[in-house]
Structure 1
Amino acid sequence: MNRDTGKTLTDESDHIKQSVADILTTQIGTRIARRDYGSNIPKLIDRPIDRILMLQLASSAVMALTKWEPRIKISQFKPSLNDGKITATLVGTRNSTGSSIKYDNLLLGGK
């Protein structure tokens, strides 16, 4: 189900992208039934933006997605700063089909 519209998601790629965004933006410890679900990205996002932060964001993302999104294998995760927003590009493969995936402009921080 699309979390914004309530409509059914028929494309698995769209569902994976939505799942990735949910995992990355959910702070660990905030889900009642799954206390270890999510990532550390929400804790990092208000820190000064530098190369260290970008490495921490990438590391946190890859660890969380490896744990919580078994449908993909990540080959690249690259955060960047765009107009005051921290976004990322994820490149990888879908485990079920072996097909390539690329998600651009995954919002990590900012509004």
Structure 2
Amino acid sequence: MATIDRHTGKTISGLDDVWQSITTILSTSLRALVMARDFGSDLPRMVDRALSPLTKIEFYAAVPEALNRISPETLMAEEPRFRVTRMRLLEESDIANGNPIFDIEGIYYPRGHLGDFSEAYDASGRISLGDEEGGYYGR
């Protein structure tokens, strides 16, 4: 599976494609797409909230919920090639200005979009949702 990198216009595949997909899912407001109301996350509506322990818990819950939500049209998770196992909201996140930054660890399934979960690899990366470009930084 290959797509176009939104910053360079070049073809990307594999884990780079997964990180771009995760960034797109998390930065899209839930119910914002007319033909795909279940696509996206609650993160965009949370970014202007005051930072409190409750807000942090909601941030932590919103990420795996958005990525693992089963789409009624496809009966598949929004990003079936990745499962979150651990994540951390970085202290330098500027949530009040819409720039949450997460370190995310998980399991990458290269053929998960085909329903084949027999091949799995550990993966980690940093997702920044609020910078001008929206970023993913695989590690």
Q: TM-score normalised by the shorter chain: which range applies?
A: 0.7 to 0.9
Which is higher, the Rg of structure 1 or of structure 2? 2
1:88 aligns with 2:102: yes
The whole-number CA distance in structure 2 between the counterparts of 1:4 and 1:28 is 23
Match of 1:101 among 100, 105, 123: 123
With the length of structure 1 as denominator, give the TM-score of the two structures.
0.88
Aligned to 1:13: 15
Shift of 1:14: 0.3
- The alpha-carbon deviation at position 101 of structure 1 amounts to 0.5
- Match in the other structure for 2:36: 34
Structure 1 counterpart of 2:5, from 2, 6, 25? 2
* One-letter identity of the residue aligned with 2:108: R
| Cα RMSD after superposing both structures | 1.6
Measured against aligned partners, the alpha-carbon deviations of 1:24-48 in whole angstroms (never above 9, x if no partner) come to 0000111122011000000111101
2:46 corresponding residue in structure 1? 44
| TM-score calculated relative to the size of structure 2 | 0.72
Q: Hey, what's the Cα distance between the residues in 1 that align with 2:100 and 2:30?
A: 19
- Label 1:100 to 1:83 Cα distance change in 2 as closer, same or farther (>3 A): closer
Identity of aligned residues (%): 24
CA contact (8 A) 1:45 1:108 kept: no
| In 2, Cα distance between equivalents of 1:110 and 1:8 | 22
Counting matched residue pairs gives 109
